[in-house]
Every structure is written in C-alpha cells, then in structure tokens.
Amino acid sequence: MALDQFRLDGKVALVTGGSRGIGLAIATLFVEAGAQVMIAGRTRTDDVDRLCDSGACDWVAGDVTDPDVPDRLVAATLERFGKLDILVNNAGIAAGGDFHEFGDDRLAAINDTNFIAPFRIARVAIVPMLEAGHGTILNIGSISGEVANKPQLQVAYNATKAAVHQMTKVMAFEYAARGIRVNALAPGYVVSDMTAGGRANEDWNRVWTENTPMGRFAEPAEMANCALFLCSDASSYVTGSVLVADGGYLTH
C-alpha cells in the first residue's frame, strides 16, 4: 500500500534536541511509525520518560557543543540498537540583538550549537550509513535561513540556519550516489520554548501572526509530519531539498 511508504518499521533514528518541542514531536511520531529512536539532549524530561516506557526508544545525555559528544551519541545508538538509519539534527538555540553590539561569546554559542554541532554529528553518523549503503539525514533549518525576520534582530541565528541549508545541499550532492539522502526542514513560527518569549510579547506576537498568511503558529506535531515524510521512503527521490513549512510566511 502507498501508505506503507510512510512507515519506519525496522529503522533506527537518532534525534538531537529530542526532549521537548519539535524534537520530541519527531521522536514520538517516529516511534508511532515503527522506528526505534535514540533521543539525545541535555535534560531528560517526563515526556521522554513516558515515551521511553514503550521500549522503542532510549535516551543519551549530551551537550552537542562538546566536541566529544557526537562520537558518543552515535556510539550509544549503535550499541543500543545495532545500527543507525536516520539522523535528525534538531538541537538549536536562538538569540537576538543589534548586530553592532553582538558579542563574540553569544556568536560562538549560536554558531557552535546551530552549525558546528550538526556538522560534527552528521560527520560521525554518516560513517555507519556509508558502511550500510543507505541512510537519511534531516537537518532542521528555519525560514530565518531564507529571510530577515521582523521585528526581532538576529543576524547570527539567521546566518547559522542559512549555513545549515547550504550544508544540506552540498552533502546531498556528495552522497546521493552512495545511497544517502540529505534534506532540511525549515519551520516557520512554531509553538515551542524557543518562541515562547516572542509569543508572550504582544507586539511580536501580532507581527509574527500578521506576517503568516495562515494567521497562526504551527504545532510541533505539524513539523513532525514533515520530518516523517522526509525520513521515510515516501520521499525516496527527494534529496538536497529544503522543505519550508511556514504557513505561507515566505510568500511575501
């Protein structure tokens, strides 16, 4: 059946930043679709505990900005489940401020988390995929990698997400002939911890909503649906793409 193409039975996935928000929604849906999932994050939450009670997932702690962590995450996945078919590079942070006043410490934190970490994790994860002759990598980017957002000022964040999009395309070109697909998901404004401050700000909330033609924020589960498509056989001929899921934000 055509719907079977959306199943992940027999697949093993590693999801970074999987303890909340989009990452947790992706991990949850992947388990529902039949995958075994290793959830990576800095803090284990009650939601992770409940999901892991199913027996189809496990947890590994780690700060993705630590250069030693990528090897540890992949090794833990291989030890627990025996293979690695799917990587979802989801961990990320956001910070804003005037460009001319943006300090090096904040710049380093954003770059290390949003670009350097996914680069390192994918670099390690792709090795067992190459040995197996197949694999799927999904990098979580953002509409911020395509436009200048308003009213917030966030040059560094936008630049790292643009880098993720370009990394995705070049990786896809390099590994397509070796059985590995690489795509990115570019969410718009999603109900999550990352957007909580802006949603609570009356002016920001209004601008974000007015600039989204659908007139609302996305739910994490809607991003998970997109991730499932990009990581399943339903998208078997899709690689090097940046799937925008933004309620129409980029249409104007």
Cα 184 from chain centre: 8
How far from 142 is each of 13, 91, 146, CA to CA, in Å? 21, 12, 8
List, in sequence order, every residue forming a beta bridge with 86; answer none if it has no partner.
13, 136
Nearest to 147 by CA among 136, 158, 160: 158
Angle of helix 117-132 versus helix 155-175 axis, rounded to 10: 20
- Quote the CA–CA distance of 52 and 46 in Å, as a whole number: 10
Render 180-213 in DSSP notation, one character per residue. EEEEEEEE-SBSSTTTHHHHHSHHHHHHHHHTST
Taking the CB of residue 213, how many other CB atoms lie within 10 A of it?
Answer: 12
Q: Has 157 been annotated as catalytic?
A: yes
Nearest to 193 by CA among 232, 159, 220: 220
Tabulate helix, strand, coil % of the chain (nearest 5). 50, 15, 35
Residue of 157, 175, 189, 249 marked catalytic: 157
Q: Which residues are catalytic?
A: 157
